Amino acid sequence: MSESIGNCASSTASERRERRRQKILGNAPGRLSAILSGPDGKEDRQAPILEGMHCGDSASSTDADGCSSENRAHKSDSRGKISTFETEIDYVEPVYCELVSRNRLFIALVLGILFRIAVALQWTNHLTLSFAVIFLSYEMFFALPHKSLKYPKHGYVVNFLMVAGLNEQFVIYLGLFLDLLWEFFVDFTIIAFSYICLQVVVNCAQNLT
């Protein structure tokens, strides 16, 4: 009698545990959905992944695909940023007028030699006029459009004219004219020096022969 009562009690307890387990398992999807949803019940979140697990180890294939695609997108975005950073080049348009200004002495010396050759070949007999045409053509069509200074280089002349009460535009143009005249004088002096030096070398070579 006592054994039957014990068996009945144990079976009743096991049945209660089984019913409780079935109830828990039956409500698991709903509770998981409630946990993963946001406060308003609309935000969908991915299922939590245990520490040390990868996206492919999760039970849900959808979550795994979402995680892998997210990783691929992050990697491709990182590669895109790296490639963009590596190929980004700051292009600076060359200004040839600055190159000419830095090498003005050398260019004037070469022009003196070329003018001496041109005179020897009887291509021109007007050295000053030829250089004036070349100089003005370069200044008007190449140098003046790239002038970065508002006022000319001769500041003392500009200040004196401004104090005299002359028009600002007139002062600027007059200062630019003085700059051009000064540059022409300096360049022509260097060209003449180069021309005379080459002429001396030619005369010495002729005397030696």
pLDDT at 83: 47
Contact 146, 154 (CB under 8 A): no
The pLDDT confidence band at residue 107, using thresholds 50, 70 and 90, is: confident
Average pLDDT over residues 154-168: 67
The answer on pLDDT for 162 being more than 80 is no
Model pLDDT for residues 45-101, shown as the tens digit of each residue = 555 555 555 544 444 445 545 555 556 655 555 555 544 444 455 545 556 667 777
pLDDT at 15: 80
pLDDT at 16: 79
The answer on pLDDT for 4 being more than 60 is no
CA distance 172 to 144: 13
Judged by average pLDDT, the poorest of 22-31, 45-54, 96-105, 153-162 is 45-54
pLDDT at 57: 47
pLDDT at 189: 92
Which residues touch 95 (CB under 8 Å, ≥6 apart)? 146
- What DSSP letter does each residue of 64-122 carry, written as one string? HHHHHHHHHHHHHHHHHHHHHHHH--------HHHHHHHTHHHHHHHHHHHHHHHHHTT
Gyration radius of the chain's alpha carbons: 46
123 or 42: whose pLDDT is higher?
123
At 101, list the tokens.
Answer: 């200004």
Model pLDDT for residues 11-22, shown as the tens digit of each residue = 677 787 888 777
Average pLDDT over residues 18-46: 67
Phi-psi region at 165: left, alpha or beta (left = phi > 0; alpha = psi -120 to 50): left
- Which H helix or E strand runs over 185? helix 168-208
Q: Residue with structure tokens 């695909």?
A: 65
From the number of C-beta atoms within 10 Å of its C-beta (0-12, 13-18, 19+), residue 131 rates as buried
Model pLDDT for residues 165-208, shown as the tens digit of each residue = 777 777 777 777 888 888 899 999 999 999 999 989 988 988 88
The pLDDT confidence band at residue 40, using thresholds 50, 70 and 90, is: low
At 45, list the tokens.
Answer: 């979140």
N-terminal to C-terminal alpha carbon distance within the chain: 150
CA dist list (Å): 113 to 14, 110, 116, 143: 115, 5, 5, 23
Q: Which amino acid is at 178?
A: L
Q: Which amino acid is at 76?
A: S
